[in-house]
A and B are shown apart, each in its own frame.
Chain A
Amino acid sequence: MSIVIKGARILGGEPADILIEDGVVARIGQDLTGDETVEAAGLIALPGLVDLHTHLREPGREDAETVETGTRAAALGGYTAVHAMANTSPVADTAGVVEQVWRLGQEAGHCDVQPVGAVTEGLAGERLAELGAMADSAARVRVFSDDGKCVSDAVLMRRALEYVKAFDGVVAQHAQEPRLTAGAQMNEGAVSGRLGLTGWPAVAEEAIIARDCLLAAHVGSRLHVCHVSTAGSVEIIRWAKSKGWDVTAEVTPHHLLLTDDLVEDSPVGAYNPIYKVNPPLRTRADVEALRAALADGTIDVVATDHAPHPVEDKETEWAAAAMGMIGLETALRVVQEAMVDTGLLDWAGVAERMSYAPARIGRLAGHGRPIEAGSPANITLYDASVREEVDPGSYASKSRNTPYEGRTLPGRVVATFLRGRPTVLDGKLA
């Protein structure tokens, strides 16, 4: 069977037809025909997006999200592959659990689910999990992370960085010095001081990143830094890259757009935990530094850190609320707002940061390939010309903890193709 996508602007270029045969891009050209036609005049064609950092919550917190609902949300956000974080219950620290998540993803079929394995048993930060068993399993794990917790023990981090070299793995570090962030509630600064909320200082992130870069260089390993949130972290990563060290980094959409003063003053009231996230929202200066770093490649990837939570975990006093925001269904729109419409990144840059680079870091064969003859037909069609209010009621995610409710954002994902099969058409699940 063949599908032809008519008149799409690949990476925002000139309109062209894309002919898909047997799940592969067969030809790019003009006036192509196929068994089926998808009109894409005016739409931008991007390689299917790849998320390095998603919380699907299954197994264990199926009240917040399941692999089925989370991957629906991913497809609607333009994603063809997501990395499912390991902080489930039970923790994804054995071959059995990662294979379960991987199989659930296969069954759901909305996008590929690539499990991330825990670095330490039970995320406890004490003993290495069986990293090799997860790497050799059907899930072929290559990214290992204790996300949500930091591998703060320097020796354990060193060993993990070294050990995963045997199977070309990477440790994705949640950089948070635990002693400096005991009870931390929000960015430590002017706002936290006024609000009387325990501060999460930038140095607690930066100190771990600096240490990890030095460790990675010392043992000659790859390091990936999760959700970079401060201007200081950017400087450290820029320095590490200038040394030629194999360090990569991600930033979330919300850290590219939102700032900590929303905790004090927002349309949804002060102390609204919808803005509670880890690492916390930072200052305007940090946002500017993160945007610049994403533009110049110091930060390699946009990753959602999609973190679903049920309503009752957010409709509480601030200190009692869960940390995290959902983001799969708004990520590309936020990136357009923060990076493209500001002139910092073009669509080729978006493809690099949201598809090619994350697939490369995750060693994900079959994703993150340019839209050209011979590539697997993982394609996202995006209408950048519209601007709409965010409506969480329409979300496929089981949770509603979006910080963008009531805001208007540009853009709309119109269609997503996974190996030539439409998972989303006309903005709805196909």
Chain B
Amino acid sequence: MKRHLISAADLSRDDALLILDTADELARISDRSIKKLPTLRGRTVVNLFFEDSTRTRISFEAAAKRLSADVINFSAKGSSVSKGESLKDTALTLEAMGADAVVIRHGASGAPHRLAGWVRGSVVNAGDGTHEHPTQALLDAYTMRRRLGSLEGRRVTVVGDVLHSRVARSNVLLLATLGAEVTLVAPPTLLPVSVGSWPCEVSYDLDSVLPKSDVVMMLRVQRERMNAAFFPTEREYSRRYGLDRDRVARLHDEAIVMHPGPMNRGMEIAAEVADSARSTIVEQVANGVTTRMAVLYLLLGGDI
């Protein structure tokens, strides 16, 4: 494996499978009453969050703590960053404190790449702008594998704001590596103009894609997008691309419904669908911790 995990494209098929297999093993430990492992004792993991994301931060924090790492949470709000400190100076500060891994969430695409040039420790991308979110893709793949077995040849449909979605970019790359067949469904305004060069299919028609889907992954759609004319109204978006009970009825019996959260219930996904037996949304959260444990464990070279 590479030293950093910045893009899902950094992972070979073997790397990805190793992470998922390691997560399986760690999940067995998480089922025990004492969840903590001593493997990263004495190592320091910094959670460097320039954007508010409590869900992702606590997931990484729990993962690092269960491996006995020392965790430093660095949130941009109220810190030197809000006083105008540059990313580079923040990086040099962390470097001086001896961070073994830096988990970074940043609003600018590519910020983790820049950070990796300024620190010696491993950089883990916890979401950068509209670029990638590779651990989300890993936990999604892990969740699919638990429900469906091998991903080889499985059909995954990703629906929503692909243009602005880091989850979609990482999932397309990782699922292609793992041999799944991905179809993106979105209004044309919410797809990159170059999407034809991606390793996936594209459709504008959700209903036609659903019957052959093994997985339907709904992306969060921000209501503000309609102000920039990406779609006319919430109601029209929901009608054409929302996953409601009638659409779910078109899925085969084993098909699952995923969402990376946070959801807009009633917009891209109906409440009854989110809470149905097909939904893996709560599992995804739990699997996030084990998958991130596997990533930190493998990047920092701990022993089981």
Q: Which residues of A contact B (CB under 8 A)?
A: 185, 188-199, 201, 269-272, 312, 315-320
The answer to whether A316 and B86 have CB atoms under 8 Å apart is: yes
CB of B106 closer than 8 Å to a CB of A: yes
Chain B residues with CB under 8 A of A318: 108-110, 114
Q: Which residues of B contact A (CB under 8 A)?
A: 86-88, 106-111, 113-114, 116-117, 128-132, 166, 169, 192-195, 197-198
Chain B residues with CB under 8 A of A196: 109, 128-132, 166, 169
* A30 CB, nearest partner CB in chain B, Å: 57
A191 to B107, alpha carbons, bound, how many Å? 19
A317 to B110, alpha carbons, bound, how many Å? 7
A19 to B86, alpha carbons, bound, how many Å? 56
The answer to whether B194 and A192 have CB atoms under 8 Å apart is: yes
A318 to B117, alpha carbons, bound, how many Å? 13
Chain A residues with CB under 8 A of B117: 269
| Contact A195/B110 with A316-B86, A317-B87, A319-B129 known, Cβ cut-off 8 Å | yes
* A274 CB, nearest partner CB in chain B, Å: 12
A contact patch SS:
loop
Please list the 5 inter-chain residue pairs (A to B) with the smallest Cβ-Cβ separation, ordered nearest first: A271-B110, A193-B192, A196-B131, A196-B130, A193-B194
Chain B residues with CB under 8 A of A312: 86
The answer to whether B113 and A270 have CB atoms under 8 Å apart is: yes
The answer to whether A189 and B106 have CB atoms under 8 Å apart is: no
* A205 CB, nearest partner CB in chain B, Å: 16
The answer to whether A193 and B110 have CB atoms under 8 Å apart is: no
Q: Which chain A residue shows the least CB distance to B173?
A: A194
The answer to whether B109 and A189 have CB atoms under 8 Å apart is: no
* A370 CB, nearest partner CB in chain B, Å: 47
Choose from A193, A201, A317 the contact partner of B111 (Cβ within 8 Å): A317
Chain B residues with CB under 8 A of A199: 192-193
Chain B residues with CB under 8 A of A315: 86, 88
A270 to B166, alpha carbons, bound, how many Å? 17
The answer to whether B131 and A195 have CB atoms under 8 Å apart is: yes
Chain B residues with CB under 8 A of A270: 110, 113
A189 to B195, alpha carbons, bound, how many Å? 9
A295 to B130, alpha carbons, bound, how many Å? 39
Choose from A188, A193, A194, A316 the contact partner of B88 (Cβ within 8 Å): A316
The answer to whether A193 and B195 have CB atoms under 8 Å apart is: yes
* A290 CB, nearest partner CB in chain B, Å: 21
* A78 CB, nearest partner CB in chain B, Å: 34
Chain B residues with CB under 8 A of A192: 192, 194
The answer to whether A319 and B108 have CB atoms under 8 Å apart is: yes
* Given A193-B194, A196-B130: 7 more A-B contacts, CB < 8 Å: A188-B194, A192-B192, A193-B195, A196-B129, A197-B110, A270-B110, A316-B86
A319 to B128, alpha carbons, bound, how many Å? 11
Choose from A193, A317, A320 the contact partner of B193 (Cβ within 8 Å): A193
* B234 CB, nearest partner CB in chain A, Å: 22
A360 to B88, alpha carbons, bound, how many Å? 46
* A211 CB, nearest partner CB in chain B, Å: 22
* B175 CB, nearest partner CB in chain A, Å: 15
14 A-B pairs with CB atoms under 8 Å apart are: A189-B193, A192-B192, A193-B193, A193-B198, A195-B109, A196-B128, A199-B192, A271-B113, A316-B87, A316-B88, A317-B114, A318-B114, A319-B129, A320-B108
